[in-house]
Amino acid sequence: MNARQRKVLYRILPYAVLTLIGVCFLLPLLWVLVASVDTNAMQTLKWPHRLTGMNYQEVMTSGENQRAFLVGLLMSAGQAFLVVVLALLAAYPLSRYQLKYKKPFMLTILFMTSLPITAVMVPVYQLFLTLHLYDNIFGVILFYVASAMPYGIWMLKNFMDSVPTDLEEAAWVDGASVFAGMRKVVAPLMVPGICTVAIFTFSGSWGNFFVPYILLQTPENFPASLKLYQFFGLHGMVDYGSLAAFSVLYAVPSIILYILSQRFMSKGFGLQGGTKG
């Protein structure tokens, strides 16, 4: 191999390797997309028998499925809202006041962001039985809020640090209280940060399977993730078309939210701590 051939090879090789990786990542995904519009979907990726919207129609018109999506939406939106409000309140003194134990507190928070939630689910289950929160949608929301709280506080505190204090002080001169200054001056300046936290907590719980699987029992309370799991248990993986359509519909909110989050993440993707999927 002479020098020129080597140079050409070096130029082409990365494209070839990346294309191969891309194809490997694409194939499983392509199956779910194609199967969802195929009248006669199979387990393998193949050219659709005939294109149809029937699978989607079937999934969307089912009352049970609509309910599961609404429950999932309620859980995730409820969690995101509560996390943002509570974390904003907590972030304020952590960002503005000089507190004695601030540093150890923030380190504890950072530590908690990375703990695997899976490891505490058995005691949480027992706790929910004693508190009579088992099989209760709002109980699940409370647990979701608690588990996302460290991430929310960590992120919002850091975002708040970058909002200058001069603006609040100007508001105080005009007679605003601390709380009003925070609500009307600081929070509006943190909209990108608030959206980032809301989106990440929302999609975290929207995609979560383990927590509702442990804490819920009645099928009426199941969010979309559990319904999907139940779906492929019940139909014995036969009705691939509807299964794929359900999967696509269930994945859509996560995808939209990810695209939205890109608009708020101006600083690119650095390691900011506690980026729990």
Partner 1 sequence: MSSLTVQPAYKRNKTYTWLFYLLPSIAIMLVFFIYPILLTFFYSFTNLALTGEAARELKFVGFDNYTRMFEDSTVTVSIWNTLVFLIGSAVIGQQVLGFLIALLMKHKRRFFRRVIGTVVLAGWVTPEIVCALCLYSFFSDSGTLNSIIGAFGISPIAWLFTVPMLTIILANIWHGTAFSMLVFQAALDDVPSDIEEAAVVDGASRWQILIRITLPYIKQTITTNMMLVTLQTLGVFGLIYAMTGGGPGTKTTTLPIFMYNQAFINYQLGYGTAISLLLLLMGIVLSLFYIRSMRD
Q: Minimum distance from CB of 63 to partner 1 (Å)?
A: 21
Dihedral of alpha carbons 138, 144, 149, 152, sign? negative
Site for partner 1 in 103-132 (CB under 8 A): 107, 110-112, 114-127
**Mask of contacts with partner 1, 56-95, x by CB under 8 A?**
------------------------------xx-xx-xxx-
99 binds partner 1 (CB under 8 A): yes
26-34, 47-55, 183-191, 194-202 -> range binding partner 1 (CB under 8 A)? 26-34
Q: List binders of partner 1 among 193-252 (CB under 8 A).
A: 203, 206-210, 213-214, 225, 228-229, 232, 237, 240, 243, 247, 250-251
What separation in angstroms does the CA of 236 have from each of 41, 213, 233, 266?
Answer: 14, 19, 5, 45
By CB under 8 A, the residues from 150 to 169 that bind partner 1 are 150, 153, 165-166, 169
37 binds partner 1 (CB under 8 A): no
Rounded Cα distance between 86 and 26, Å, is: 40
- How far is C-alpha 31 from the chain's CA centre? 24
Span from 7-15, 50-58, 59-67, 183-191 in contact with partner 1 (CB under 8 A)? 7-15
CA dihedral over 242, 244, 245, 249, signed as positive or negative: positive
In this structure, are residues 205 and 144 in contact, taking their beta carbons and an 8 Å threshold?
A: yes
| Rounded distance between C-alpha atoms, residue 95 and residue 107, angstroms | 14
Shorter beta-carbon distance to partner 1: residue 1 or 173? 173
Judged by CB under 8 A, which of 39, 40, 57, 177 binds partner 1? 177
Whether the CB-CB separation of 128 and 146 falls below 8 Å is answered with no
